Amino acid sequence: MPTERGLPFSRLSHDDIAREAVRRGLVASISGATVWRWLRADAIRPWSYRSWLFPRDPAFADKAGRVLDLYHGLWQGAALGSDDYVISADEKTQIQARRRLAAGTPPAPGKARRVEFEYERGGTLAYLAAWDVHRAKLFGLCQPTTGIEPFRRLVELVMGREPYRSARRVFWITDNGASHRGQASLERLAQGSPNAMLVHTPTHASWLNQIEIYFSVLQRKVLTPDDSPDLSALEARLIEFQAYYEQIAKPFEWMFSRQDLTRLLHKLAEPCLQCASRAA
């Protein structure tokens, strides 16, 4: 890392690496282009980076393990029954209705589709969705904003119909957002639907929530590029795509298991142990 070498950089370019190699006496001379060719052959790009969140929840393994078990048809070590259901739910917030100031043009030979850069803002809405993990059923609604009440409407939308209304248990997997956070959210859900159980993912672990996979599809298919004259048109498009997607949807092939989680957490812990060892 540049900081470990006393260099005033946040990241290194191939020219920076070439100069450092010469300064340290690794080679008599070398060009940045040569460094680039070598690194390209080894698929190493020191100038690239990605952001990530290190697990901070002290009960991360236990909370994540419960979610993974549900995806694989287990709860507290026992197999789920035919009248047990697993729902993954969340909100997609601040979706803007953007009316482009000029009409776009379709793609043509040798030319990409063109979308006007400038737009007028038509307001924002929130899209709340619930995904039946094992049956590939999708439920959703649009609301002016998120909150406890909008989430209650989503729950009623699902739990008010069969087979969920008469199910033995319906597990609701959610994150720790304000709409469904803490012990109070568990009690609210059980009060409105006694057969419903809220299961929280660990903090900063949205990748464990399957509804986020659908949201990524929605973002690519519907909202990129976005061009809606108003909120009514935007809402109609979201609900129409939801109905379309459900017709072709299949359960996601979720392969990540408790064993994979254990290996991942051990791998993440190794750098911390090395840092602690150097500090000691």
Domain assignment present for residue 280? The answer is: no
pLDDT digits (tens, 9 = 90+) for 208-263: 999 999 999 999 999 999 999 999 999 999 999 999 999 999 999 999 999 999 99
CATH for 67:
3.30.420.10
3-state SS class at 214: helix
* pLDDT reported for residue 61: 94
Beta strands in the chain, from DSSP E residues, in sequence order? 74-75, 78-79, 84-100, 119-132, 137-143, 169-174, 196-200
pLDDT digits (tens, 9 = 90+) for 39-64: 999 998 888 888 877 888 899 999 99
Nearest 10 degrees: Cα torsion 135, 137, 154, 63: 40
Helix or strand (DSSP H, E) at 40 = helix 32-41
Joined together, the tokens standing for residue 7 give 């260099």
pLDDT digits (tens, 9 = 90+) for 85-107: 999 999 999 999 999 999 999 99
Cα–Cα distances (Å) from 194 to 14, 88, 98, 190, 214, in that order, read 61, 18, 41, 5, 27
In angstroms, the CA 136 to CA 249 distance is 6
Residue 162 lies in domain: 60-104+114-258
Residues 135 and 225 in one domain: yes
Joined together, the tokens standing for residue 268 give 């993440």
Residues 86 and 178 in one domain: yes
Residues 141 and 226 in one domain: yes
What does the pLDDT average to over 258-278? Answer: 77
